[in-house]
């Protein structure tokens, strides 16, 4: 597959952020999936991914970066932060109407607009489903093991498993946008869920893939490349339903 340049627009997943349990801090993995993509395709990769970014960040820089860098393929990877909530605010007052960082309808709209913008530039949009999260692990992470804080959040949340299906809804939205726009899609979520225990491929925070998790994503990319003809990947189409 002869792809000369790829623009990556995303969050900490594309940035290769993992939690180092020994150093007790977040760091950048040298073997993140974007690095693996570069080894597979040998293109020039412009990685603009940012820790903590939401799709609003990506939409702001997309067009300027396409004009500046003129990539052939644009990988758009968002959703993990967009569907997240301000857990501190929820803990302080669980009886208010709390909203995610990016509402579901807004996320679908922004992602669709970004894909169409890429297509209108004559470039190829590439989307990714979200790796699953470990809901209990993530809950323990953002509550810090504080029983009182956890109990307060549960007054609003209801059940810890709600975190998982809410997160999954955004992953399903990415699939929906890919179908409606004709964008190519790499299904990394399925790769995790076919493992005996996908939690082994996540960091202690329950949400960021660890080294092994990035290897799984790289495997999904490898399979995608093997099953996709270059001519198919590099012919963008607009087919909004």
Residues contacting 130, CB < 8 A, separation 6+:
79, 80, 167, 168, 170, 171, 174, 188, 189
Q: Does residue 238 lie in a domain region? A: no
Q: Does residue 241 lie in a domain region? A: no
**Count of all residues that appear for the chain in the document:** 241
Cα first-last separation, the chain: 29
> Which of helix, strand or coil describes residue 59?
helix
CA distances from 31 to 21, 93, 215, 216, 230 (A): 17, 41, 8, 11, 25
Quote the DSSP letter at residue 53.
-
Q: Does residue 53 lie in a domain region? A: yes
Q: Does residue 89 lie in a domain region? A: yes
One pLDDT digit (tens) per residue for the chain, 241 residues: 578 899 999 999 999 999 998 899 999 998 899 998 888 888 899 999 999 999 999 999 999 999 999 999 999 999 999 999 999 999 999 999 999 999 999 999 999 999 999 999 999 999 999 999 999 999 999 999 999 999 999 999 999 999 999 999 999 999 999 999 999 999 999 999 999 999 999 999 999 999 999 999 998 888 887 776 444 544 333 333 2
Tally the C-alpha atoms within 13 A of residue 160's C-alpha that lie toward its C-beta.
Answer: 14
**Token pair 């963008």: residue:** 236
Q: Does residue 121 lie in a domain region? A: yes
Number of domains in the chain: 1
CA distance 8 to 6: 6
Q: Does residue 239 lie in a domain region? A: no
| 9: CATH | 3.40.50.1110
**Token pair 């726009």: residue:** 181
What pLDDT does 228 receive? 67
181 lies in which domain range?
5-233
CA distance 70 to 25: 35
Q: Does residue 97 lie in a domain region? A: yes
Q: Does residue 240 lie in a domain region? A: no
């Amino acid at each position: 597959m002869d792809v000369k340049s790829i623009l990556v627009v995303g969050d900490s997943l594309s940035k290769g952020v993992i939690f180092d349990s020994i150093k007790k801090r977040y760091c950048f993995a040298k073997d993140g999936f974007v690095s693996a993509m570069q080894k597979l395709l040998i293109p020039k990769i412009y990685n603009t991914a940012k820790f903590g970014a939401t799709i609003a960040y990506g939409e702001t820089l997309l067009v300027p970066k396409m004009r500046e860098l003129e990539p052939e393929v644009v990988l758009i990877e968002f959703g993990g932060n967009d569907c997240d909530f301000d857990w501190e605010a929820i803990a302080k007052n669980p009886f208010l109407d709390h909203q995610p960082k990016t509402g579901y309808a807004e996320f679908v709209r922004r992602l669709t607009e970004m894909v169409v913008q890429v297509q209108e530039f004559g470039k190829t949009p590439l989307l990714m489903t979200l790796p699953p999260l470990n809901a209990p692990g993530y809950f323990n992470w953002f509550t810090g093991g504080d029983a009182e804080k956890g109990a307060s959040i549960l007054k609003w949340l209801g059940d810890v498993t709600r975190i998982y299906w809410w997160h999954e809804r955004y992953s399903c939205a990415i699939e929906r946008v890919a179908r409606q726009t004709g964008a190519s899609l790499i299904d990394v979520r399925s790769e995790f869920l076919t493992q005996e225990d996908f939690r082994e491929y996540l960091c202690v925070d329950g949400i960021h893939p660890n080294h092994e998790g990035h290897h799984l994503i790289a495997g999904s990319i490898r399979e995608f490349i093997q099953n996709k003809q270059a001519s198919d990947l590099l012919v963008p189409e607009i087919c909004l339903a």
